[in-house]
Amino acid sequence: MDINGRYFKSYLERQERLKDQSNAENAKKQHSKGKLTAHERIDLLFDNDSFEEIDAYVTPENQKYSFGKIKKSYGDGVIAGHGKVNGRLVFAYAQDFTVMGGSLGVVHAEKIAKIQEMALKMGAPIIGLIDSGGARIQEGIASLAGYATIFHNNIQSSGVIPQLSVIMGPAAGGAVYSPVLTDFTFMTNHTSYMFVTGPNVVKEVLNEEVSSDELGGAEVHARKSGVANMIYEDEENTILGLKKFLSYLPSNNVENPPVVIEEHQKPLTIDSLRDIVPDDPNKPYDVKEVIDQIVDCNSFFEVSEHYAANLVVGFARLNGHTIGIIANQPKVLAGVLDINSSMKGARFIRFCDAFNIPILTLEDVPGFLPGMDQEHMGIIKHGAKMLFAYSEATVPKITVILRKSYGGAYIVMNSKNLGGDFNFAWPTAEIAVMGPDGAVAILYRKELAEAEDPDALKKDLVRKYRDDVANPFIADERGYIDEVIDPATTRKKLITAFEALQNKWTKTPSRKHGNIPL
């Protein structure tokens, strides 16, 4: 055999050894836990035959500084490369739990860091499919240094390319910080977990029995901590949701989001919008009905649905163009702003601003949540985050006041003087320093105390306050909103307004960065 033939034989043999690593036994272990293998995840994510793997044959280093055994394997427990998702370039890495528990060693970290740097250089999104027990104990400080490099790259790419994390098993110890540094985190119910210290450490240190699911499962992070933005019941649907989510985003911060024009568009005037807000100002309704009526058919993709549900955020399309939506939800806590909703809103606004996604605000907010707990936990500081985010954002910003718009919350929700480009109101809007009941109770305390029928007097004063102070026509006449509109024409007004703002340009002060109240 000539020399070229001998090399080609070695090439083929090496390919076979790589395939042998993904054997049926390892696949069976993953499937028995309700999980896919790393290769199956990559195949499901990328368009057919488009994925190109990089550094498939690297092996962990035999270092004199290592402690214990290190399994020799190609790839060192992570698949990394690039391909097309819905026809667009995307970089990704998928950790392989069947190789040393997906633990991160030096070579493993170098592969991830290389893909991160390539994605940044090419201006393409990066996705991490995470299934890892954390830092590789055998490699000591070297594995910790590897995590530090990954975190540094996350931060360098922040606001430049979309970074998405998908937790598909454990993410323990150092493995949890990269996902939170990325833009959005997906989790799968009952098979994915995130915690800094696992159940065994909790048991040892605090003598508390807790399961992985109770400590850091998808439901915990979706509802309580807010770390998970989207959760699904199985890995297939998680990846399908991820692919749909990507379709709303630009590839980087100098591109505009993709435009997807549906064949059958909604009419510009929608009469049913006139009937959503109840006549009784204290009666709740579902703001998602308003969203669904305004945006293109079935285009609303909600983010962090289960966390701080008094504020609804998500992406949608309006006449084919991606927009970000922030909406108070009257059916949850009457739509008030609190600590969690303020943080949720601020982070979403900043993402939209970083990636050229116009922002639509649908407002029905009675104020900030009162109470000692909120005050002591810093509602002032956390509420200011949303204030800062709205004011700092330079993308097109439009507000529609649906009903209540009181006090500081009026200011925070993209008011005209905070930088709103177009501010509209429905005839049902109530704009004032506070609600009519509270205002009357303060302004007419003495009269109410001396009245023969205080309830009747208060009712009359509340009606007068609504007519003379809180109605939207006063704000319209003074220029604090641009127009009181017929709810049925909302979709048409928004399409026209966003089109007018397409070439918006804002000059900002020269500075390194602002100091958001973190």
Q: Exposed/middle/buried for 298, CB within 10 Å: 0-12, 13-18, 19+?
A: exposed
Q: What are phi and psi of 365, to 5 degrees?
A: -130, 120
Cβ contact 304:313 at 8 Å: yes
CA distance 477 to 484: 10
Distance between CA atoms of residues 448 and 464, nearest Å: 15
pLDDT the model gives residue 172: 87
Q: Which of 77, 83, 169, 174 is catalytic?
A: 174
Catalytic residue among 83, 173, 216, 324: 173
**In the prediction, which pLDDT does 66 show?**
57
Judge contact between 340 and 226, C-beta under 8 A. Answer: yes
Tell me which residues of the chain have a pLDDT lower than 50: 1
Three-state SS for 424? strand
pLDDT score recorded for residue 457? 84
Residue 173 a catalytic site member: yes
Is there a catalytic annotation at residue 34?
A: no
Q: Considering 124, 142, 346, 409, which one is annotated as catalytic? A: 409
The position carrying tokens 């059958």 is 264
By the 8 A CB rule, do 42 and 79 touch? yes
Q: What is the pLDDT of residue 88?
A: 97
Largest Cα–Cα separation, the chain: 112
d(CA 459, CA 82): 66
DSSP string, 14-52: HHHHHHHHS-HHHHHHHHHTT---HHHHHHHHSPTT--E
Q: Quote the CA–CA distance of 469 and 459 in Å, as a whole number.
A: 15
d(CA 195, CA 188): 15
pLDDT, residue 68, reads: 59
| Three-class secondary structure of residue 346 per DSSP | helix
3-class SS of residue 279: coil
User: Is 222 in the active site?
Assistant: no
pLDDT score, position 74? 83
Query: How far is residue 84's CA from residue 45's CA, in Å, rounded to a whole number?
Result: 9
**Are the C-beta atoms of 484 and 425 separated by less than 8 Å?**
yes
User: Alpha-carbon distance 434 to 427, whole Å?
Assistant: 18
pLDDT of residue 52: 96
Neighbouring CB atoms inside 10 A of 109's CB total 24
Catalytic residue among 159, 320, 407, 408: 408
Please list the residues that pair with 398 across neighbouring strands: 360, 422
The residue with tokens 């379709």 is 247
| pLDDT of res. 265 | 84
Over the range 182-216, which residues count as b (16 or more CB within 10 Å of their CB) and which as e? bbbbbbbbebbbbbeebbeebeeeeeeeeebbebb
At residue 70, the pLDDT reads: 66
Q: Are 134 and 103 in contact (CB under 8 A)?
A: yes
For the chain, list the domains and their CATH numbers.
3-246 (3.90.226.10), 271-429+471-500 (3.90.226.10), 436-470 (no CATH)
**DSSP code of residue 370:** P
